[in-house]
Structure 1
């Protein structure tokens, strides 16, 4: 039962994370079938991200009002309905609307999965449980493109979405039978104004950055939308400081562990969020690989991510949150920079070794930050913490992709012969520097933060206690 809960939640999150990228290689086939262009169809990618950004903030209130388990099952059902609607869509408008419906379901799944896990897991076992929950978030975006290409090539694109139906139905049944029923503590009145402002802020930033980095619309529209999102964010911060029950309580940032986990994790995700965008492009455009070849190569990252979950709890117990996050963040950033040193002549085993190490370190970092978010947070505030962390996660990944795409756009304009491997190197070095800056919030954090979850200080105290007992016995006449 101890591993059943995180595994059930992980399966649902794998479905959601994979689906967010699975259609990227299938856009031409879908566009041709529904009578539109692949460029226009990129609006479906953007609509999914916008739906996530809008509805994540309300997920915490929904969990407190109706119960995390019930809302989680309903979120899977909405996601499945959106998948069916995508499969039967016959026009661009219908497909974009269907992806939006999927995004509404996905918006609830990630924060609520973490919330259910926190409320069902003892604090001293939270790191081990989070390790299982972190893996699908890393593997899903990696396997999405090759699986999407395989299904589209050998079947039809409709099965990209229809395959979610049996997985989702199984998830609903398993969640109903095995997830614990957590008593609903009662939700405060819905902060309607806060919901509107936070939705405009998050969706404006995500949509603006997505349009800038994936220009399905004129970049000027993205810039205006991004500016509107930033203004709404400032207005929401002012509102949250005055509201009695804000939908996203920014006062949680007074907690050192929560503040460091969200800010440090966001900086790290900005840098690493660009890697799934940059690396396949470099392998295809710079090294001449096919999409399937590059997808199979980058999948090596998954092996490192899976291997991490077996030792994450031990590593954090020995090193503590502060030391582990600083070391893993800096080492993972060095590996991001190492991607920029790859050449077409680089031995494949060397590339594989680097990618496996990258998966291991990123998974360790994300497991630690996901646990640190809740380490010193009261159970009554866990729903708020989950929602805020999820919002920052979505925004930081969008920022990372926009930065990676922006760097390549600048490099392309400076040259006439198209992008070269050196252009990708510059992009990797820049995003690696951003990822390395994630160490700063953790350098400012006390090493004692989160010790009840990591067990680091407790292990030290037990050793000291054992030594004192031995000394006492030695002096006992």
Structure 2
């Protein structure tokens, strides 16, 4: 539970910001979709620095890296709370992502190294409980804060929790280092950084009139070229920042590559559902926070029976069912309107929370089946990196769809309507069903030793 404190911090930070976007946009006098950069910058920063987390942990020890990461995250949160422009928020969110990149994989690595396979499902469930609580509290806190006080407090709230996490870690978390000292792969790190940032930033600027179209093509082209170069550079090497040989393990490959479309939906929901409820349906920040909390209530409600469900149905069937439900629920979000029963909205959000949580827990557990302990730290870093990158893709893709649909309907992104959300949510929800194609390839008995 102590090493899961960062999950709570990140969950609160992401979900609370989605509820407060409109208030921040009014305060800073910027277009609301431009604030998407604040979310994407954090997620992208996470993805960029995550590859280094495995090497840092092996080199300097779990406890030192863990505590330093929480300290950086908390400091950056304080700076975000003092920011006076969107540029400052984006820069401080990048610093915050640097801290966040080292928190979660270290905690997960401690679990994977110390928990017997037969208890790993329950350990992963408990590991995600603080994150689920954070996602419940985030929208509620965000709604009350922007209504009763300033949006700046949404960042300042992280500080006391960060201090508590550091004190508990110093007292209870054991310190461990790898006996094998490897050189840091600078060339690989640079290629991965350029590849990820180029593709995400390119996706961010398509159709948004933020930069000339040829600049967008150049940015995305650089990202694609750098990614190809890293694949050529690292496919037959073992000492690289991200050993591509990990993808030869079938369960890891299916859970992480095949799960990309599903994670896009899971990443976009906490950000754009509150935006839909406030801008499209007309909810106040408190009302949208109460409604969005049902996503997390559903995620929390499935916890007591999750182990039994995995034991009875297996990882494969559970992942397929969760994907279908998640995609369908995300598409239905677009049908939310001023005339719809609020209780019906709660039911849809509750079911979506159950589906999202079931899929994520199953993927995050079965993906590590058969991974040798020698490469477990890098596998953990790679898996977490792919999750965060996919979520940044989800936020950017949903924002792109909203921007394009607004232009099709003949108005700017500053005046979003319910119709804009309908098309965007349907497209992104349908995209998630591609994960079913990948999950079908998973052997029916995969992960049996964990059940």
TM-score (norm 1): 0.84
C-alpha displacement of 1:178 = 2.3
Q: What does residue 109 of structure 1 align with?
A: 103
- Alignment partners' CA distance in 2, 1:260 and 1:182: 30
- Alignment partners' CA distance in 1, 2:303 and 2:15: 24
Are the counterparts in 2 of residues 44 and 99 from structure 1 also a CA contact under 8 Å? yes
Q: What does residue 401 of structure 1 align with?
A: 395
Q: What does residue 447 of structure 1 align with?
A: 444
Q: What does residue 422 of structure 2 align with?
A: 425
- Alignment partners' CA distance in 1, 2:397 and 2:35: 22
1:357 aligns with 2:354: no
Are the counterparts in 1 of residues 57 and 177 from structure 2 also a CA contact under 8 Å? no
C-alpha displacement of 1:247 = 0.6
- Alignment partners' CA distance in 1, 2:97 and 2:82: 17
1:253-402 alignment runs, 5 A limit: 253-402=247-396
- Give the root-mean-square deviation of aligned CA atoms: 2.8
Q: What does residue 232 of structure 2 align with?
A: 238
Change (3 A) 1:162 1:285: closer
C-alpha displacement of 1:260 = 0.9
Change (3 A) 1:148 1:449: same
Unaligned runs of 5+ in 2: none
- Alignment partners' CA distance in 2, 1:321 and 1:357: 19
Are the counterparts in 1 of residues 296 and 353 from structure 2 also a CA contact under 8 Å? yes
C-alpha displacement of 1:171 = 0.4
TM-score (norm 2): 0.89
- Alignment partners' CA distance in 2, 1:296 and 1:57: 36
1:435 aligns with 2:429: no
Q: Secondary structure at the match of 1:438?
A: helix
Q: Secondary structure at the match of 1:274?
A: helix
Are the counterparts in 1 of residues 320 and 439 from structure 2 also a CA contact under 8 Å? yes
Q: What does residue 83 of structure 1 align with?
A: 77
Are the counterparts in 2 of residues 272 and 432 from structure 1 also a CA contact under 8 Å? no
Change (3 A) 1:348 1:92: closer
Q: What does residue 14 of structure 1 align with?
A: 8
- Alignment partners' CA distance in 2, 1:259 and 1:281: 33
Deviations 1:90-122 (A, max 9, x none): 666654443322111011112222112212322
- Alignment partners' CA distance in 2, 1:312 and 1:63: 31
- Alignment partners' CA distance in 2, 1:289 and 1:142: 18
Segment drifting more, 94-103 vs 66-75: 94-103
Change (3 A) 1:139 1:401: farther
Larger radius of gyration: 1
Question: Aligned pair count?
Answer: 447
Change (3 A) 1:411 1:142: farther
Change (3 A) 1:195 1:290: same
Out of 128, 131, 141, which is 2:125 matched to? 131
C-alpha displacement of 1:305 = 0.8
Segment drifting more, 44-53 vs 100-109: 44-53
C-alpha displacement of 1:170 = 0.8
Are the counterparts in 2 of residues 135 and 305 from structure 1 also a CA contact under 8 Å? no
- Alignment partners' CA distance in 2, 1:257 and 1:160: 38
C-alpha displacement of 1:211 = 3.9
Are the counterparts in 2 of residues 118 and 126 from structure 1 also a CA contact under 8 Å? yes
**Larger RCO, structures 1/2 (Cα 8 Å, 6+ apart):** 2
Change (3 A) 1:89 1:353: closer
- Alignment partners' CA distance in 1, 2:175 and 2:298: 34
C-alpha displacement of 1:75 = 0.6
